Amino acid sequence: MILTGGLKSLLPHVLRRIIRCNRLSISNTSGMAEGYKQANIVILHKSLADDFEKFCHANDGPLPLLYRSKPGDWKCPSLSSDSDIRTDCLQYRIYEHGACTGLLKSLKEYSEQLKDMVTFYLGCSFSFEKAVQNSGIPIRNVEQKCNVSMYKTAVPCSSVSTFCCNLVVTMRPIPESKLEAAVLATSALKEAHGAPIHMGDPGLLGIQDLSKPDYGDPVHLHPGDIPVFWACGVTGVEAVINCRAPLAFTHSPGCMFITDLKNDNVTVRSSRDIPQVHCISQDPLHYSIVSAEAAQKIKTLETLIGTDPGERGITHLCRQDELLKACLSLSHARSVLVTTGFPTHFAHEPPEETDGPPGALAIAAMLQALEKEVAIVTDQRAMNLNKKIIEEAVQLGILKRPVPLLSYQRESADSALMFLCENGNPERPRFDHLIAIERAGMAADGNYYNARKVNIKHLVDPIDDLFLAAQTIPGVATTGVGDGGNELGMGKVKNAVKKHIKNGDVIACDVEADFTVVAGVSNWGGYAIACALYILSTCEMHDRYLRKAVGFPRLSKKMVWLSALPSVTKEEKLLKTLVRHGVRSGKTASLEMEVDGLPFYNTHSLMIEKLL
């Protein structure tokens, strides 16, 4: 029988009665009893029940617990008035020692065993389909008259005792223009899995082929559709398989228990509840989620650092939301490579300036606090200087531990690939994000210029190669932070540099980054990145998306992140350290407490306070 409009509008108790009498020849309950909650079912021996309940609470994205029965209780009074869990699902599966040994229309023959068993009713994404449709978004599997696609992922759930498994997800194709609406329609429906846990390339979840779902049916994408993935209650089935219980029952995926509970009418309360969706990568395709409240805070940071104290014309280089997108990408990164160093003072030793290293260390400190791998790559001739600066930054409490320090030399055509990837294999990158902050960038003629148009190529190692190679490696993103247009990564705004910046036609960096963060002083860009990463980490909506709705919120680590933020005291001590090592102010070459000719006190210190 084809799913008809009649089944959509039937009341739940009527549908359960029809299912109980075995009068339906349909394969799933998607689209039935629109607007009412449906439930995944897991039935386990009472000795396993407490641990399974803990497992549900530890992974409440895929396993939102609607009701737990007492042993031998076949009813669920808080969900339905007249139900019998032995008969009221379209189809059941029986599992013995982790193996599925049969499909059943009824569990009545197991009534004796069920007296010692507990039933768990878990939320289902079929419950949110009506809310999605009400937002003007098509449900492709309903259109195509088939079950939803379900896939095993490579994402591990948080384990409890014998219950451990990877997350299972459903996939629904959503038109790109409707992504934000789909997130908004589902994010508050926690008992129906809430907001999506991934949007974009299925490979990022470890799913190899969308046409071969592990459960359910393949659902075809229309042109312009993006695969969107929600946590799925079939995760509970995988947990049952892995715990190898002597006897367990579940619903057959797609054959849900239909409750009498209507979906909540959710009203959005504040900007904390309103999602924004941003594309952070085209290859592989990847979107991220952030609350409107957090996004606005980061836009405010971007505005603050975009002031032009040196009156160089940098406001013409600013691009909206680059800080937000760069930091969303960094938030998803596992391992980050940072580079800095602009040897503008070619007549001095060392030739470095005080803009760059403080911003780089501010970023590194926050990445360490967020438990990401971070390394710094710099010029071979500056290794000893940077080693001393890093050691003292640890002693000053700016860094929790030393940051590995690397150098890069071009020895062959594939040197950059060998540096960035294990054995030069683009499928195995060592880093998934590269950041350049106040790093000398290669101009169109292959040289490196300071702001006064002096060629300093003899002092600069070709670290630009790494950013050029990253453009060819899927999944490796790049960010450039600069304040004059001659810094690595500023190639993205080179036309504006040539037009608006003094000597721009010669000095403009030709090498692009995916994201370009423009600041009045590059250090400010580094401080803003650290602050923005903190904002994202404390955004509940983004945190849930990052951890794929498994495990517990990471907000317990908030104090660790807070302590990693830059401060006036930290930056004052670091600048004194740089000056002591002979590192000079960019514009004036003076060995004073200044950066780019601007005094630390009442200029840089004020900016740090504003950003915090």
Residue 9: which pLDDT band, with cuts at 50, 70 and 90?
A: low
Structure tokens, 556: 């317990």
CA distance 447 to 440: 10
Please tell me the total number of residues recorded for the chain in this structure: 612
Q: What angle do CA 367, 398, 318 make, to 5 degrees?
A: 55
| Closest of 120, 110, 154 to residue 51, by C-alpha | 120
Instruction: Please give the average per-residue pLDDT across 134-143, as a whole number.
Output: 92
Concatenated DSSP letters of 41-56: EEEEEHHHHHHHHHHH
Q: What angle do CA 229, 234, 237 make, to 5 degrees?
A: 150
Residue 390: which pLDDT band, with cuts at 50, 70 and 90?
A: very high
Sign of CA dihedral 9, 11, 15, 18: negative
CA distance 44 to 116: 9
3-state secondary structure of 168: strand
For residue 106, pLDDT beyond 70: yes
Question: Which residue did the predictor score with more confidence, 73 or 30?
Answer: 73
Q: Can you state the angle between helices 322-332 and 292-305, rounded to 10 degrees?
A: 120
Q: What percent of the chain clears pLDDT 70, i.e. is strictly above it?
A: 97
3-state secondary structure of 329: helix
| Closest of 550, 432, 443 to residue 501, by C-alpha | 443
List phi, psi (to 5°) of 199. Answer: -135, 120
Residue 272: which pLDDT band, with cuts at 50, 70 and 90?
A: confident
Place of tokens 């490979």: 203
**CA 202 → CA 83, 151, 212, 218, 228, distances in Å?**
38, 10, 12, 14, 9
For residue 247, pLDDT beyond 60: yes
| Closest of 417, 316, 357, 377 to residue 595, by C-alpha | 357
Q: What angle do CA 524, 529, 530 make, to 5 degrees?
A: 100
CA distance 241 to 306: 55
Instruction: Please give the average per-residue pLDDT across 409-429, as a whole number.
Output: 95
CA 304 to chain centre: 25
CA distance 72 to 517: 61
Print the SS3 string covering 395-431.
Answer: HCCCCCCCCCEEECCCCCCCHHHHHHEHHHCCCCECC
3-state secondary structure of 443: strand
Q: Where are the alpha helices (DSSP H) in 146-276?
A: 179-187, 235-243
Q: Can you state the angle between helices 357-369 and 568-580, rounded to 10 degrees?
A: 130
pLDDT the model gives residue 3: 42
**CA 25 → CA 3, 246, 255, 299, 443, distances in Å?**
10, 31, 12, 54, 69
CA dihedral in degrees (456, 421, 432, 150; nearest 10)?
160
For residue 2, pLDDT beyond 60: no
Cβ-in-10-Å burial (0-12, 13-18, 19+) of 136 comes to exposed
pLDDT the model gives residue 4: 45
Cβ atoms of 92 and 138 closer than 8 Å: no
pLDDT the model gives residue 7: 64
CB contact set of 577 (below 8 Å; sequence gap of 6+):
389, 392, 393, 396
Question: Which one-letter DSSP state was computed for residue 85?
Answer: T
Question: Which one-letter DSSP state was computed for residue 380?
Answer: G
pLDDT the model gives residue 401: 95
| Closest of 78, 50, 86, 60 to residue 236, by C-alpha | 60
Instruction: Express each pLDDT in 215-244 by its tens digit.
Output: 999 999 999 999 999 999 999 999 999 999
CA distance 192 to 230: 9
Q: Is the peptide bond before 284 cis (omega within 30 degrees of 0)?
A: yes
Cβ-in-10-Å burial (0-12, 13-18, 19+) of 23 comes to exposed
E strands of 420-576, at which residues?
433-439, 477-482, 515-518
For residue 181, pLDDT beyond 70: yes
Concatenated DSSP letters of 274-305: -EEEEEEEETTEEEEEEEHHHHHHHHHHHHHH
Instruction: Express each pLDDT in 190-210 by its tens digit.
Output: 988 999 999 999 999 999 999
Instruction: Express each pLDDT in 559-577 by its tens digit.
Output: 999 999 999 999 999 999 9
3-state secondary structure of 21: coil
CB contact set of 21 (below 8 Å; sequence gap of 6+):
none
User: Which domains, ranges and CATH numbers included, belong to the chain?
Assistant: 8-262 (3.30.2040.10), 275-611 (3.90.1640.20)
CA distance 557 to 57: 20
CA distance 67 to 358: 53
CA distance 319 to 328: 16
Residue 523: which pLDDT band, with cuts at 50, 70 and 90?
A: very high
CB contact set of 554 (below 8 Å; sequence gap of 6+):
537, 543, 547
Instruction: Express each pLDDT in 490-501 by its tens digit.
Output: 999 999 999 999
Residue type, 169: V
Helices H / strands E in the chain, number of each: 21, 22
For residue 250, pLDDT beyond 80: yes
**CA 536 → CA 199, 326, 561, 580, distances in Å?**
18, 12, 11, 35
Tell me what the pLDDT averaged over the chain comes to.
Answer: 93
